[in-house]
Amino acid sequence: MKIDSIKNGFVIDHITAGNAMKIYNLLGLGNLDCRVALITNVPSNKMGKKDIIKIDDDIVIDTDILGFVDPNATVNIIKDEVIVDKKKLELPEKLTNVIKCKNPRCITSVEQELPQIFNLTDKEKQVYRCLYCETKANNA
């Protein structure tokens, strides 16, 4: 399998195996007009298996979404085919319009123009709670 190198863009590495498609969809990578490589089940000494996403374009990516889906992933920033920066991710303290509240009585069910806002309430268990009704949403 041959995957070309990236001229200017990003490599999202160390994605937990099976999470690449979720990240691909949440970031809207299918709507981009550039090369995007999604590589799954890559052998890894550290993780056993991992996924990798390569984006051959200098776009803005939402690191909050990445941190929510897989806080152990890394983002390598590529300029002229060289890694110029490497970012470690972490769980974001606040998520806006990434997950939806499941509580049918929540104000966001009635007032659908309200943003879906969740705050991180338990970092260890990766638990987020709706800002409006406190309904729990796990990062799973």
Predicted TM-score of the model (pTM)? 0.83
Output the 3-class SS for 40-99. Answer: EEEEECCCEEEEEEEECCCCCCCHHHHHHHCCCCEEEEEECCEEEEEEECCCCCEEECCC
Could you tell me which residue, 84 or 3, shows the higher pLDDT? 84
Mean pLDDT (the chain, rounded): 91
Map out the domains of the chain with their CATH numbers: 9-88 (3.30.70.140), 94-138 (2.30.30.20)
Q: What pLDDT, on a 0 to 100 scale, did the predictor assign at position 100? A: 92
68: exposed, middle or buried (C-beta count within 10 Å: 0-12, 13-18, 19+)?
buried
| Span 6-23, average pLDDT | 93
Q: What is the pLDDT of residues 48-86, one digit of tens each?
A: 999 999 999 988 888 889 999 999 999 999 999 899 999
